[in-house]
Amino acid sequence: EAQVTQNPRYLITVTGKKLTVTCSQNMNHEYMSWYRQDPGLGLRQIYYSMNVEVTDKGDVPEGYKVSRKEKRNFPLILESPSPNQTSLYFCASRSGKGAQYFGPGTRLLVL
C-alpha cells in the first residue's frame, strides 16, 4: 500500500530537549516536505527536499532542521524545541507535479 508514515504520532516534551520526527514514504517520490498546521493559519511549509541531499527552506524554517540521506526518509529535527513549536506536523511526498500525499500527522506539545 502506497503511504507516508510518521512517528511518533503524539509527543509531549519540554523546552530545549532535542527531538526528531521521522517520515518515510514507499512511493519512490523525489519531493518531500514538512508542514505545520495551526488553527486559522492553514498549512505552512517548513522545509522541503527535491531529492537526496537536496533540501531547502520553506516559509517557516526557523527552529527546525531536516536531512535527506535516503530517498524514502525525511526526518524533521527540533534541536531546542520551544512552546511556539507546539503544533500539528505533517510530512508529505510528491512525484513530479502529481498529487501530494500526506502522512497521518504528529501532534507535538512543548511545555
Stretch that binds another protein, among 17-25, 27-35, 64-72, 76-84 (CB under 8 A): 27-35
Residue 69 binding another protein, by CB under 8 A: no
**Cβ–Cβ under 8 Å, residues 26 and 44:** no
Q: Minimum CB separation from another protein for residue 41, in Å?
A: 7
Cell of 102: 500526506
**Residue 46: enclosing H or E segment and its boundaries?**
strand 42-51
Terminal CA-to-CA distance of the chain, rounded, Å? 36
46: left (phi over 0), alpha (psi -120 to 50) or beta: alpha
Residue 103 binding another protein, by CB under 8 A: yes
Which of 43, 52, 77, 109 is in the footprint of another protein by CB under 8 A? 43
Interacting residues with another protein (CB under 8 A): 30-31, 33, 35, 40-43, 45, 48, 50, 58, 90, 94, 96-97, 99-105
